[in-house]
Structure 1
Amino acid sequence: MGLQVEQFMCRSDNFGILIRDEASGEVGLIDAPEENPILEAIERTGWQPSVLFVTHHHADHVEANLALKSRFGLKIIGPTAEASKIPGIDETVEEGSKLEFGGKAVRVIETPGHTAGHISYYFEDSGIAFTADTLFALGCGRLFEGDAATMHASLSKLAALPDATIVYCGHEYTLSNARFALTVDPRNAALQERAQTIEALRSDGRPTLPTTIGLEKETNPFLRPHDPAIRTHLGMENASDAAVFAEIRKRKDNA
């Protein structure tokens, strides 16, 4: 028995996520972007949460913290480095913290770059990672509070997870990410095929997530600064991986 995941839309492009441990029945939330869609998901599933796992302090991830805490008595867990910015926080965690859900270990991975204290949660027994605004399908978060080297290091940590790891992200950005990815990695056949699939999914109004670490390593240019084809396309054959990553991020910011 593993982890059940209910993914749904919040705001304009945020994902809300309810999780349930099948063995224990414990229910949690990953971030709290908007109260009403979360309440609708709770009513639809019958899963009443007892804990909220916060990845970072941005308003579109913590807006409903206090309302949900008041309604359900949630314990709110979040990154130590951003504790003062997270409404209602009860417990702080960082890399190496001992954290459990449904009696099973949850690994906290510090993934700064988008914000200075961003963390991701890896439910190892189920092979599922919640990466919020660090790793997106075919993309990564903007560098609001970190530099390119910091984000590259964070993504490298996530890329080291098993290829079969299922990844849930914070936003539905995949279509625009795919179109950009093709501008820096145009000869990648796997990326071309994936882009077509994404176009079809979005045309039908269907989500593009979850993804997997293996698929991202194959097609996401932000995880591929070492790739010779990308380096040649950018004219950066002899640059460091971090420098190539920085150039890709700069181009995405200006796209």
Structure 2
Amino acid sequence: MKTLEIEVFQCRSDNYGVLVHDPETGLTASIDAPEEQPIIDAAARRGWKLTHILTTHHHTDHVEANLPLKERFGLEIIGPINEAVAIPGLDKSVADGDEFQFGEHTVCVIETPGHTAGHICYHFLDDKILFAADTLFALGCGRLFERPAADMWHSLQKLAVLPDETAVYFGHEYTLSNARFALSVDPDNGRLQDRVQEVETARKAGKFTIPTTIGLEKETNPFLRATDPAIRRNLLMESRTNEEVFAEIRKRKDNF
């Protein structure tokens, strides 16, 4: 089985476009479809023909190009069963725990409600790659639009148990603002301090901060660290539940 090839590029103002290519079969999937032309350009640049869109959730900045790309390439659109009515051009709906093949590569569907009610992530099992869209960002998580904080906390825990070396591709370049917020609730975390400097250097140079890893996020992302005693002390929430601590972190980020 040949290694998957991945192309990352910018769409819209801060969305990431991601193409996944299986060199053995020629299959090429766009993870979501935020903007038509950058996706077409990226595929052409690599000499790939789009065959799939793997949709994570229904927000316009993730599905806007579904129908134009489907019309142009005749591709198959896969997306979350719990948002099926809101996904343009959906051909196949998938639910939590479902698996399907992308060439010889097994893709596992992980439902992660929080940002939206039916958001899903795609875990390429043997490749140890996770496409997390707007559930898990580098040093952050998605805003809570359709489900409460407790649901998002439990969704993030489903991702946190994946192998530490799992590469995480996320939906937006929010990392610098996330990093500065993370320091406000976890100021004594030495690994986080180092990472903030790395992020600032990368962004000044115009570099992307994608992908991250599950292990790095567990060390530095406050939204995965609601159990950490230092964060709890900083928030004066030592005796509160994990869900309550997470909710407070999310509320503070919303107002940061």
TM-score range, shorter chain: over 0.9
Question: How many angstroms apart in 2 are the aligned matches of 1:236 and 1:98?
Answer: 39
- Kindly provide the amino acid, as one letter, of the partner of residue 243 in structure 2: A
Could you tell me which runs of 5 or more consecutive residues in structure 2 were left unpaired when the two chains were aligned. none
Matches within 5 A, 1:173-192: 173-192=174-193
* Inter-partner Cα distance in structure 1 for 2:82 and 2:221: 28
Look up the equivalent residue of 2:228 and give its one-letter code.
D
Residue 55 in structure 1 maps to residue 56 in structure 2: yes
User: 2:197, 2:98 → 1: CA distance?
Assistant: 41
Q: Under a length normalisation based on structure 2, what TM-score does the superposition of the two structures give?
A: 0.98
Take 2:99 and 2:169, find their aligned partners in 1: how far apart are those partners? Answer: 22
Taking the aligned partners of 1:203 and 1:181, their CA distance within structure 2 comes to 19
Contact 1:110-1:154 within 8 A present in 2 as well: yes
Q: Secondary structure at the match of 1:172?
A: coil
- What is the DSSP-based 3-state SS (H/G/I as helix, E as strand, rest coil) of the residue aligned with 1:230? helix
- The 10-residue stretch of structure 1 (235-244 or 174-183) with the greater mean CA deviation from structure 2: 235-244
Give the letter for the 2:173 counterpart.
E
d(CA) in 1 for partners of 2:183, 2:99: 40
2:248 is the alignment partner of 1:250 = no
Looking at structure 2, the residues matched to 96 and 223 of structure 1 have their Cα atoms a distance apart, in angstroms, of 22
How far 1:95 moved relative to its partner? 1.0
Structure 1 position 165, deviation (Å): 0.1
Match of 1:127 in 2: 128
- Give 1:216's aligned residue: 217
Cα distance in 2, alignment partners of residues 173 and 238 from structure 1: 31
**Alignment match, 1:206:** 207
In the alignment, which residue of structure 1 is the partner of 2:154?
153
Moved over 3 A (4+): none
In structure 2, how many angstroms separate the alpha carbons of the residues matched to 1:97 and 1:161? 16
Alpha-carbon distance, 1:92 to partner: 0.2
Residue 97 in structure 1 maps to residue 84 in structure 2: no
State the distance in 2 between where 1:135 and 1:47 align.
Answer: 28
2:71 maps to 70
Whole-angstrom distance in 2 between the partners of 1:2 and 1:165: 15
> 8 Å contact 1:55–1:119 — kept in the other structure?
yes
Give the drift of 1:102.
1.1
2: CA distance, partners of 1:98 / 1:53: 13
Match of 1:38, SS? helix
Residue matched to 2:164: 163
SS at match of 1:8: strand
Please name the residue that 1:20 is paired with. 21
**Number of the residue aligned with 2:84:** 83
Q: CA deviation at 1:96?
A: 2.2
Aligned-residue offset at 1:15: 0.3
Q: Which runs of 5+ in 1 are unaligned?
A: none
Corresponding position: 1:116 with 2:124 = no
For 2:53 and 2:33, how far apart are their aligned partners in 1? Answer: 8
Contact 1:2 1:125 in 2 (8 A): no
Deviation at 1:104, TM superposition (A): 2.1
Q: How many residues align?
A: 255
How many angstroms apart in 1 are the aligned matches of 2:153 and 2:191?
22
- Report % sequence identity: 63
Are the aligned partners of 1:115 and 1:146 in contact in 2 as well (CA < 8 Å)?
yes
Residue 115 of structure 1, CA deviation: 0.2
Counterparts of residues 230-249 of structure 1 (less than 5 Å): 230-249=231-250
Report the Cα distance in structure 1 between the residues aligned to 2:49 and 2:135, rounded to whole angstroms: 27
